[in-house]
Amino acid sequence: MKYALSFLAVVVLAAVAWLGSQVPGMSYIFGVAFPYLAILVFLGGFVYRIVQWAKTPVPFSIQTTCGQGKSLDFIKHNKLEAPHTNAQVIARMALEIFTFRSLFRNTHAQVHDGPKITYESSKWLWLFALIFHYSFLLIIIRHMRFFLDPFPGLLALIEALDGFFSIGNPTWYLTSAGIVVGVLFLFARRIASTKVRYISLINDYFPLFLILGIATTGILMRHFLRTDVDITAIKTLGVGLVTLQPTIQVSLSPLFYTHLFLVCVLLAYFPFSKLMHMGGVFMSPTRNMKNDTRENRHVNPWNPRILPHSYAGYEDEFREYMVEAGLPVEKELPPQKDEE
Amino acid sequence: MSVPKLEQLSKSVVKGPSLATGAVPTKDWMEIPVEFKPGNYAYPAKKEKVEYLNSQKGLHFPNAREWSPEDDDWKLPEDWKDIILQGLKERLDKFRSLKIFMDCCVRCGACADKCHFFLGTGDPKNMPVLRAELLRSVYRNDFTLGGKILGKMVGGREMTVGVLKEWFMYSYQCTECRRCSVFCPYGIDTAEITMMLRELLHLVGVGINWILEPASNSNRTGNHMGLQPHTFKDNVDFLVDDVENLTGVRPNVTFNRKGAEVLFITPSADVFAEPGLYTAMGYMILFEAIGLDYTWSTYASEGGNFGLFTNNETMKKLNAKMYAEAERLGVKYIIGGECGHMWRVLHQYMDTMNGPADFLETPVSAITGTKFQNAASTKMVHITEFTADLIKHGKLKFDKSRNSHVKATFHDSCNTSRAMGLLDEPRYVLDHVVDWVEMPEGTIREQTFCCGSGTGLNTDEIMELRMRSGFPRANAVQYVRDKFDVNMLSCVCAIDRATLTSLNNYWTPEVGVCGVSELVGNAIVQENEGENRANLDEGLRTLV
Ligand code: SF4
Ligand code: SF4
Question: One digit per residue, pLDDT tens: chain B, 544 residues?
Answer: 578 888 888 888 888 777 777 777 888 999 999 999 999 999 999 999 999 999 999 999 999 999 999 999 999 999 999 999 999 999 999 999 999 999 999 999 999 999 999 999 999 999 999 999 999 999 999 999 888 988 888 899 999 999 999 999 999 999 999 999 999 999 999 999 999 999 999 999 999 999 999 999 999 999 999 999 999 999 999 999 999 999 999 999 999 999 999 999 999 999 999 999 999 999 999 999 999 999 999 999 999 999 999 999 999 999 999 999 999 999 999 999 999 999 999 999 999 999 999 999 999 999 999 999 999 999 999 999 999 999 999 999 999 999 999 999 999 999 999 999 999 999 999 999 999 999 999 999 999 999 999 999 999 999 999 999 999 999 999 999 999 999 999 999 999 999 999 999 999 999 999 999 999 999 999 988 888 888 888 999 998 6
Please list every residue in chain B whose beta carbon sits closer than 8 Å to the beta carbon of residue A211: none
Q: CB atoms < 10 A from the CB of B273, how many?
A: 15
| Closest chain A residue by Cα to residue B429 | A75
Q: CB atoms < 10 A from the CB of B142, how many?
A: 17
Instruction: Tell the burial category of B213 from Cβ atoms under 10 Å away from its Cβ (0-12, 13-18, 19+).
Output: buried
Rounded to whole angstroms, the Cα distance separating B196 from B174 reads 12
Sign of CA dihedral B528, B534, B539, B543: negative
CA of B170 to the centre of ligand 2 (A): 10
DSSP state of B533: G
Residue B515: its H or E element: strand B512-515
| Closest chain A residue by Cα to residue B129 | A199
Residue B316: its H or E element: helix B312-329
Inspect the interface and report whether the beta carbons of A193 and B256 lie closer than 8 Å.
no
Using the Cβ of A303 and the Cβ atoms of chain B, whether some distance falls under 8 Å is answered with yes
Residue type, B10: S
Q: Which residues pair with B524 in a beta bridge?
A: B398
Q: Which of B108, B365, B378 to mutate to test the interface with A (most CBs of A within 10 A)?
A: B108
Rounded to whole angstroms, the Cα distance separating B139 from B133 reads 9
- The pLDDT of residue B398 is 96
Q: Going by C-beta distance under 8 Å and a sequence separation of 6 or more, which residues neighbour residue A167?
A: none
Please list every residue in chain A whose beta carbon sits closer than 8 Å to the beta carbon of residue B471: 115, 117
Rounded to whole angstroms, the Cα distance separating B488 from B530 reads 26
- The pLDDT of residue B483 is 96
Rounded to whole angstroms, the Cα distance separating B157 from B142 reads 8
Q: CB atoms < 10 A from the CB of B34, how many?
A: 17
In three-state form (DSSP H/G/I as H, E/B as E, the rest C), the secondary structure along chain A is: CHHHHHHHHHHHHHHHHHHHCCCCCCHHHHHHHHHHHHHHHHHHHHHHHHHHHHHCCCCCCCCCCCCCCCCCCCCCCCCCCCCCCHHHHHHHHHHHHHHCHHHHCCEEEEEECCCEEEEEECCHHHHHHHHHHHHHHHHHHHHHHHCCCCCCHHHHHHHHHHCCCCCCCCCCCHHHHHHHHHHHHHHHHHHHCHHHHHHCCHHHHHHHHHHHHHHHHHHHHHHHCHHHCCHHHHHHHHHHHHCCCCCCCCCCCHHHHHHHHHHHHHHHHHHHCHHHHHHHCCCCHHHHCCCCCCCCCCCCCCCCCCCCCCHHHHHHHHHHHHHHCCCCCCCCCCCCCCCC
Rounded to whole angstroms, the Cα distance separating B383 from B285 reads 13
Sign of CA dihedral B268, B269, B273, B279: negative
Please list every residue in chain B whose beta carbon sits closer than 8 Å to the beta carbon of residue A62: 97, 189, 192, 348, 419
Ligand index nearest the alpha carbon of residue B101: 1
Q: Which of B148, B423, B473 to mutate to test the interface with A (most CBs of A within 10 A)?
A: B423
For ligand 1, atom 4, name the residue with the nearest CA. Answer: B108
| Cα→Cα distances B268→A28, A201, B215, B350, B436, Å | 75, 47, 13, 19, 27
Q: CB atoms < 10 A from the CB of B473, how many?
A: 27
Please list every residue in chain A whose beta carbon sits closer than 8 Å to the beta carbon of residue B230: 318, 321-322, 324-325, 327
Q: Which of A64, A72, A115 sits opposite B389 (nearest CB)?
A: A72
Q: Is the CB of B112 under 6 A from ligand 2?
A: no
Rounded to whole angstroms, the Cα distance separating B248 from B242 reads 10
Inspect the interface and report whether the beta carbons of A119 and B220 lie closer than 8 Å.
no
Distance (Å) from the C-alpha of residue B349 to the closest C-alpha of chain A?
Answer: 6
Residue B132: its H or E element: helix B128-143
Please list every residue in chain A whose beta carbon sits closer than 8 Å to the beta carbon of residue B474: none
Mean pLDDT, consecutive 10-residue stretches, chain A (340 aa), reads 90 93 88 95 97 96 96 96 96 96 94 90 94 95 86 84 79 90 96 92 95 95 78 88 85 90 97 94 95 96 96 95 94 73
Please list every residue in chain A whose beta carbon sits closer than 8 Å to the beta carbon of residue B422: 68-69, 71
Sign of CA dihedral B204, B209, B215, B221: positive
Q: CB atoms < 10 A from the CB of A161, how many?
A: 12
Q: Using N-to-C axis directions, what is the helix angle for B190-203 and B80-94, rounded to 10°?
A: 140
| Cα→Cα distances B463→B39, B146, B457, B489, Å | 7, 42, 9, 20
Provide the ipTM.
0.93
CA of A246 to the centre of ligand 2 (A): 53
Q: Going by C-beta distance under 8 Å and a sequence separation of 6 or more, which residues neighbour residue A201?
A: A2, B107, B154, B155
| Closest chain B residue by Cα to residue A74 | B392
Q: Is the CB of B110 under 6 A from ligand 1?
A: yes
CA of B106 to the centre of ligand 1 (A): 6
Rounded to whole angstroms, the Cα distance separating B506 from B486 reads 16
HSE-up (13 A, CA, CB side) for residue A218 = 22
CA of B104 to the centre of ligand 1 (A): 8
Q: Is the CB of B179 under 6 A from ligand 2?
A: yes
Measure CA A317 to chain center. 55
Rounded to whole angstroms, the Cα distance separating B81 from B79 reads 6
CA of B260 to the centre of ligand 2 (A): 40
Ligand index nearest the alpha carbon of residue B174: 2
Inspect the interface and report whether the beta carbons of B107 and A199 lie closer than 8 Å.
yes
Longest dimension (CA), chain B: 80
- The pLDDT of residue B411 is 98
Taking the whole predicted model, whether its pTM rises above 0.90 is answered as: yes
Q: Is the CB of B115 under 6 A from ligand 1?
A: no
Residues in chain B: 544
Best of B116, B134, B167, B179 for a ligand 2 pocket test (most atoms within 8 Å of beta carbon) = B179
| Cα→Cα distances B97→A58, B156, B246, Å | 7, 20, 50
Residue type, B332: K
- The pLDDT of residue A339 is 59
- The pLDDT of residue A154 is 85
Q: Is the CB of B132 under 6 A from ligand 2?
A: no
Inspect the interface and report whether the beta carbons of A195 and B389 lie closer than 8 Å.
no
CA of A311 to the centre of ligand 2 (A): 36
> B533, B244 in Cβ contact below 8 A?
no
CA of A81 to the centre of ligand 1 (A): 19
- The pLDDT of residue A338 is 65
Sign of CA dihedral A52, A281, A176, A5: negative
Inspect the interface and report whether the beta carbons of B146 and A305 lie closer than 8 Å.
no
Residue type, B27: K
| Closest chain B residue by Cα to residue A66 | B446
> B379, B336 in Cβ contact below 8 A?
no
Q: Is the CB of B134 under 6 A from ligand 1?
A: no
Q: Which of residues 80-99 of A touch B (CB under 8 A)?
A: 81-82, 96
- The pLDDT of residue B531 is 81
Measure CA A252 to chain center. 34
Using the Cβ of A310 and the Cβ atoms of chain B, whether some distance falls under 8 Å is answered with yes
Q: CB atoms < 10 A from the CB of B501, how many?
A: 21
DSSP state of B149: H
| Closest chain B residue by Cα to residue A319 | B229
- The pLDDT of residue A340 is 56
Q: Which residues pair with A108 in a beta bridge?
A: A120
Measure CA B33 to chain center. 29
> B202, B232 in Cβ contact below 8 A?
no
Ligand index nearest the alpha carbon of residue B119: 2
CA of A330 to the centre of ligand 2 (A): 45
pLDDT digits (tens, 9 = 90+) for A9-65: 999 999 999 999 888 888 889 999 999 999 999 999 999 999 999 999 999 999 999
Rounded to whole angstroms, the Cα distance separating B382 from B413 reads 14
The three-state secondary structure class of B478 is helix
> A41, A52 in Cβ contact below 8 A?
no
Q: CB atoms < 10 A from the CB of A15, how many?
A: 11
